[in-house]
A and B are shown apart, each in its own frame.
Chain A
């Protein structure tokens, strides 16, 4: 885990990163067998693994697999065609990169500290963008960058950050924190000072692990997946699993008020953090103790949470951890329509049944090893010892469009990749898509199941489909699916599962098996890749989210989808109707988080990204008019700044401004997000 300060090594790492993003830029191969999904994003776990020399694990089961039906799906849904590809610009053209504006005094002082830095074009470009549609699109098109960071620094620890921030204040240099590199990164074009990207990727260690209090002290630059793996090795997890966890960093989560899909059990980031250490131009801000709750005026953590890099850099975080759940079970429920699904989710959220009586825990013998020294000292807690609700860890409801996608595509690639099923079994096992009666492939299950049981299971699942559409009379163009994941001890999970299925049954839901649940779960991660793949086929796509009270969920979904379709039509997206789809991804006592996916074929449009932005803008207005929030967890950034006043009132904006004015009067953290 040691990191070195050798700057040539730094450059090698940077080079590696760039080659990965270049792979992202290269056009993808396609053949008769379909499109190959590449690992097309930057490496999430970064140098940690490489330094350890471990064999890199495949990120998801998807990696390197072929998606045989994906091409068809693209063609049928968007009218995309292999003939109309829009290849990306393969190499970075130096001419589109503006020369760095360096602050010589700052550079001199920085050199003296020995903190590595770079002003190479590639390093700078790499940190000039996030993963938003317009950013990726501009990259692909090889457009000229208006303003990018002038240099990149790689602090290695909290003290490095303190030094950098001090120097930045001294020399009036603009700092933009860089964590996972997914959002909040664009440089304000009007910024004339030297812009320094502060890359926290080297601050990726777990500093200590406290098994008594079940907390871990972690450097903020660690990437989600890396963190999870390291904790898993000790038998723990954070339970914080945002869809983007392969890219995003802990500091980023804090700075944007992130939310994970298992928040029902573990909580959102604000529930998970116990202590935050951040460096601001005024100095370091942190609390003096780790009390689980304090009444010391407004919680200062909440100035940092969601500050989007405008106040300072989060360097270290103390976070709750949990023992890895003993037993996990996926599940899924099919509902006749979206309304019934939402009603069921609402009921599940309502009946947050009291947890099983909290067992008084007799501590096991403490083995004596210091938590920071490794996993030896782990003692496993009986799971269920913390308050557990009846709500499954994640419960998500996909609408009919996503259901189709799944039955047509996602199902299939999972199947085809199933080694056990590589030789086609007899025709009887052919499964038909309930919507178009085309055979959707062979029934199979995921690779961990023994073959015999899988054939049997799939036969049963096929019968289930028949039962749902033919005997139960579900309209295939209406039915939707909810995916579930239960965690805990086996007995409790089963009991819990039964409870949820019983509620579902009262809303006309039918249990649809574990496979569907798992597929849906994985699909979540796949979607980001599909967007980038789609760009090769003249399809732009993006997702956005909101949170809304329960009584408005249905109307909001309906109105926003309708608005998108109409706005697209007005803007000349004619050939194929845009794909609009939504899902309920989080449930709360009083409302839900809703995710929208929206994609269209941009052939014939002069400026597809602009069109996309106009439509998203209209959709956001619609969301607000329907009682939805500006954002559930994506944050505000620059894209949604204009609505801040309406969202939090003038006084609210004034409060935030005055905090900014006190903490950072010179606007050193000048990414101009949020306000």
Chain B
């Protein structure tokens, strides 16, 4: 049970229910075979998967694109049509109740082994049930684990709600059997790199639109596009978003309901894989054998999982005044039409909004808070002094309790069992994560990967990677909590860096930070002044800033809070500076992403070894790519189109200007930002 107080305005007590409790008491077979009669979207006539595919193939839109493609390529229309039909066969789902039942049975077994609880907010499900009957519903969960994939279908099946069709990446399809099982459980598969394949886009978008328009089933997709390796929200991908919203923009449905869903894990199944991937160890191909090998995973305890079904959002209400639906009046509705700039902005804004809601209603575990503190301590200690390593248990306890208070006052939703003594709560968190952290003789230390027996001793570079692996694993859990602190942290940093008390100066630096980091942290475009006010009010609440009309100051008493917040941002700032530094090197001229990542990594390793750099986030490829995107966005890097890979050219003066501004050596340029 969590009491939450959202800055976004809705305050409510959410009763969480454990759906596994019932499964532990009654027969799984009975559960799987129960009568299943969900009430669908009101206007929706029952439609078979085959009929749906036929509708798509025969659509005016596809006919048009088929003809166009045939003209361009010189192939016959029939051939192109066949191709389209092939794409559709590869893509389409084949939802079958029998498989859902089979899946229900299997998942009951698996989930009971993996998780101690799967907590869901029943109120949210009730709201969802209402919403499903009124308008086409889009389920928008965050994506942190492969488990996300079917857990929603499982919950909806348990609660007698229509099973969604789910957008999945095509690698999943290539797994033997699993692909087919997923397909029959309602998954449809999307190729990763669609690029400019016009026909593929057309089939996909018509398929998605038809599902939404007919109310065939709720559509589930991950607005972040990918599974987040850092457990941080990712920049939303808008392609799918445009597809699901178009039926509303074109007036084919009265409204569309978006339901943000936050899935939070105490411990993520793939945690060790995540760090490996970030450090450049390639992701294993998704194969059925791999999955079977991962059975070892089933032996472990992963604590609880929380699924929070957010308030349904009406697209009609949210886009009111932002989108002029008349723009669709002058073209036949069945023809492809590029959305206007305003519509694109609005869709992007909507996606950001959904991510914000996901973040706000995600549930933090005590471990996330502890992870922040453990990492800060780790950053501050010199890797040389082996004996003094680690944080004392007492200090960690004391700090964690302080942080808990801060988090709650910042509106975090915390899963902290109040009935248990604090020590026990923390100890059980440590126990759950015993592969990365250990409490030994009153000191808490990070665990590093054991050297395989008989292998050569680690080189110093390997040692860095080894340590980084543990740090990045813990950092992932820290990242889960970042959304709570990010705005106040940026304010604290702004006050510190600008050495100014002038609101104006602080706000412009704050905006600079929002802009620079907007690939790492998701902010809502055009809301910077509200974000600033929000940060001010949160910090004022805990006594860390005082504000007046013109001034924002940070009093002595607030130092503990502000220095904690600044330290939270430090790894990101360090990482950005490392990348800036690399790009300003003389020998870097034109580069590809593939060249950049290892180069930055080796620079960071060197800096870590020299002690110049203390945080490992610079090693993470995810962060590096975010820096690159940010630079592209800010115009400090330009993309040169070439055949195979995109090449980039660094604008060194612009990058060093950014670096200096970030470090406070240069005032924020008030010159109009090209993006604003």
The answer, yes or no, to whether B332 is at the interface (CB within 8 Å) is yes
Question: Is B254 in contact with A559, judged by CB distance below 8 angstroms?
Answer: yes
| Nearest CB of A to B273, in Å | 47
Instruction: Give the contacting residue for B332; candidates A551, A555, A624, A626; CB below 8 A.
Output: A551
Q: How far is the CA of A501 from the CA of B252 in the complex (A)?
A: 30
Q: How far is the CB of B574 from chain A (nearest CB, A)?
A: 50
Contact B326 A625 (CB under 8 A): yes
CB within 8 Å of A: which B236-288 residues = 251-254
Chain A residue numbers with a CB within 8 Å of B326 are: 624-625, 627, 646
Nearest B residue to A559, CB-CB: B254
Within the complex, the shortest CB–CB distance from B154 to chain A, in Å, comes to: 33
Question: Is the pair A562, B254 in contact by a Cβ cutoff of 8 Å?
Answer: yes
Partner of B334, one of A551, A556, A626, A627: A551
> How far, in angstroms, from A624 to B252 measured CA to CA in the complex?
14
Question: Quick one: which of A539-567 are within 8 Å of B by CB?
Answer: 551-552, 555-556, 558-559, 562-563
* Docked-complex contact A563 and B334, CB < 8 angstroms: no
The distance from the CB of A624 to the nearest CB of chain B, in whole angstroms, is 6
A552 touches B254 (CB 8 A): no
List the A residue with the shortest CB-CB distance to B332: A551
Pairs A–B under 8 Å by Cβ, sample size 25: A551-B332, A551-B334, A552-B251, A552-B333, A555-B251, A555-B252, A555-B253, A556-B251, A558-B254, A559-B251, A559-B254, A562-B254, A563-B254, A625-B251, A625-B324, A625-B325, A625-B326, A626-B251, A626-B325, A627-B251, A627-B326, A627-B328, A627-B329, A627-B333, A646-B326
Kindly provide the distance from the CB of B240 to the nearest chain A CB, expressed in whole angstroms: 23
Closest-CB distance, B330 to chain A (whole angstroms): 9
User: Which B residues from 345 to 378 make CB contacts under 8 A with A?
Assistant: none
Residues of chain A within 8 A (CB-CB) of B333 are 551-552, 627
The residue on B at minimum CB distance from A558 is B254
| Distance between Cα atoms of A556 and B326 in the complex (Å) | 13
User: How far, in whole Å, are A555 and B334 apart by their CA atoms in the complex?
Assistant: 13
Interfacial chain A residues near B328, Cβ < 8 Å: 627
Point out which of A551, A558, A627 has the most chain B C-beta atoms below 10 A from its C-beta.
Answer: A627
Contacts of A559 in B (CB 8 A): 251, 254
Number of interface residues of A (CB under 8 A): 13
Assembly CA distance A329 to B412 (angstroms): 74
Nearest CB of chain B from residue A520's CB, rounded to whole Å:
26
Give the interface centre of B251, B324, B325, B334 by most chain A CB atoms within 10 Å. Answer: B251
Number of B residues near A (Cβ < 8 Å) is: 12
A562 to chain B: which residues have CB within 8 Å?
Answer: 254
Chain B residues with CB under 8 Å of A625's CB are: 251, 324-326
Residues of B contacting A624 in the complex (Cβ-Cβ under 8 angstroms): 326
A646 to B330, CA, bound (A): 13
A352 vs B254: C-alpha distance when bound (angstroms): 33
Kindly report which residue of chain A lies nearest to residue B255, judged by CB atoms: A562
Please give the distance in Å from B319's CB to the nearest CB on chain A: 11
Q: Residues of A at under 8 Å CB distance from B?
A: 551-552, 555-556, 558-559, 562-563, 624-627, 646
Q: A552-B333, A625-B324 are in contact. List 8 more A-B contacts (CB 8 A).
A: A551-B332, A552-B251, A555-B251, A555-B253, A624-B326, A625-B326, A627-B329, A627-B333
**Residues on B with beta carbons closer than 8 Å to the beta carbon of A556:** 251
What chain A residues lie within 8 Å of B251 (beta carbons)?
Answer: 552, 555-556, 559, 625-627
For B252, B324, B329, the residue with the greatest tally of chain A CB atoms inside 10 Å of its CB is B329
Please report the C-alpha to C-alpha distance between residue A524 and residue B89 in the assembled complex, in whole angstroms.
51
Give every chain B residue within 8 A of A563 (Cβ-Cβ). Answer: 254
The chain A residue sitting closest to B252, CB to CB, is A555
Question: Which residues from chain B contact A646 at a C-beta distance below 8 Å?
Answer: 326
Q: Which residue of B is nearest A548, CB measured?
A: B329
**What chain B residues lie within 8 Å of A626 (beta carbons)?**
251, 325
The 7 closest A-B pairs by CB, nearest first: A625-B325, A626-B251, A627-B329, A562-B254, A559-B254, A555-B251, A555-B252
A559 to B333 CA separation, bound complex (whole angstroms): 16
CB neighbors of A among B309-339 (8 A): 324-326, 328-329, 332-334
Tell me the smallest distance from the CB of B326 to a CB of chain A, in Å. 6
Q: What separation, in Å, do the CA atoms of A320 and B214 have in the docked complex? A: 48
Which B residues are in CB contact (< 8 Å) with A558? 254
Question: How far is it, in angstroms, between the C-alpha of A627 and the C-alpha of B325 when the chains are bound?
Answer: 9
Q: Give the Cβ gap from A544 to chain B, nearest Cβ, in Å.
A: 18
Looking at B252, B254, B324, B326, which has the most chain A CB atoms within 10 Å of its CB?
B254
In the complex, what's the smallest C-beta–C-beta distance from B192 to chain A, in angstroms?
34
| Distance (whole angstroms) from the CB of A610 to the closest CB of chain B | 21
Tell me how far the C-beta of B172 lies from the nearest C-beta in chain A, rounded to whole angstroms: 35
* Residues in B neighbouring A555, C-beta threshold 8 A: 251-253
Which residues of A sit under 8 angstroms from B252, Cβ to Cβ?
A: 555
With a CB–CB cut-off of 8 A, which chain B residues contact A552? 251, 333
B491 to chain A, nearest CB (A): 38
Question: Which residues of B541-595 have CB atoms within 8 Å of chain A's CB atoms?
Answer: none
Nearest residue (CB) in B for A563 is B254
Which of chain B's residues has its CB closest to A628's CB? Answer: B329
Considering the complex, give the chain A residue whose CB is closest to the CB of B327. Answer: A625
CA of A627 to CA of B252 in the docked complex: distance in angstroms?
11
B42 to chain A, nearest CB (A): 11
CA distance A596 to B328 in the complex (A): 23
| Chain A positions within 8 Å of B325 at CB level | 625-626
Give, as a whole number of angstroms, the nearest-CB distance from B35 to chain A. Answer: 25
Shortest Cβ distance from residue A371 to the other chain B in the assembled complex, whole angstroms: 47
A510 to B254, CA, bound (A): 31
B206 to chain A, nearest CB (A): 16
- Closest A residue by C-beta to B323: A625
Would you give the shortest CB distance from A549 to chain B, in whole angstroms?
8
Q: Which residue of A lies closest to B333 (CB)?
A: A551
Alpha-carbon distance between A626 and B329 when the two chains are bound, in angstroms: 7
Residue of A whose beta carbon sits closest to that of B213: A555
Q: How far is the CB of B653 from chain A (nearest CB, A)?
A: 44
CB distance from B251 to the nearest CB of A (A): 4
CA distance A558 to B251 in the complex (A): 10
Note all chain B residues with C-beta closer than 8 A to A551: 332-334
B249 to chain A, nearest CB (A): 9
Closest beta carbon of chain A to B41's beta carbon, Å: 13
* A625–B328 alpha-carbon span in the complex (Å): 8
Nearest to A646 among chain B residues (CB) is: B326
| B73-116 Cβ-contact flags toward A at 8 Å (1 or 0) | 00000000000000000000000000000000000000000000
Which chain A residues lie closer than 8 Å to B332 at the CB level?
Answer: 551
A552 to B251, CA, bound (A): 8
In the bound complex, how far is the Cα of B134 from the Cα of A562, in angstroms?
11
For residue A589, give the distance in angstroms from its CB to the closest CB of chain B.
Answer: 15
> Which residue of chain A has the shortest Cβ distance to B134 in the bound complex?
A562
A555 to B246: give the CA distance in the assembly, Å: 14
Which residue of A has the minimal Cβ distance to B325? A625
Smallest beta-carbon distance B268→chain A, Å? 42
What CA separation (Å) do A624 and B251 show in the bound complex?
Answer: 10
Q: Which residues of A contact B334 (CB under 8 A)?
A: 551
Shortest C-beta distance, B5 to chain A (Å), equals 28
In angstroms, Cα B254 to Cα A563, docked, is 8
Query: In the docked arrangement, what's the CA distance between A555 and B43, Å?
Result: 12
CB distance from A645 to the nearest CB of B (A): 12
CB distance from B448 to the nearest CB of A (A): 60
In whole Å, how far is A341's beta carbon from the nearest beta carbon of chain B? 16
Complexed CA–CA distance, A646 and B326 (Å) = 9
Minimum Cβ distance to chain A for residue B148 (Å): 33
Cα separation A646 to B333 with both chains bound (whole Å): 20
The minimal Cβ–Cβ distance linking B217 to chain A, given in whole angstroms, is 20
Instruction: Give, as a whole number of angstroms, the nearest-CB distance from A91 to chain B.
Output: 46
A206 to chain B minimum Cβ distance, whole angstroms, is 42
A626 to B251, CA, bound (A): 6
| A contact residues around B253 at 8 Å (CB) | 555
A624 to B, closest residue via Cβ: B326
| Closest A residue to B135 using CB positions | A562
* A556–B329 alpha-carbon span in the complex (Å): 12
Residue from the set A558, A624, A625 with the largest chain B CB neighbour count within 10 Å: A625
In the bound complex, what is the Cα–Cα distance between A552 and B332 (angstroms)? 9
The chain B residue sitting closest to A556, CB to CB, is B251
Report the bound CA distance from A273 to B299 in whole Å.
88
Residue in A552, A563, A624, A646 whose Cβ sees the most chain B Cβ within 10 Å: A552
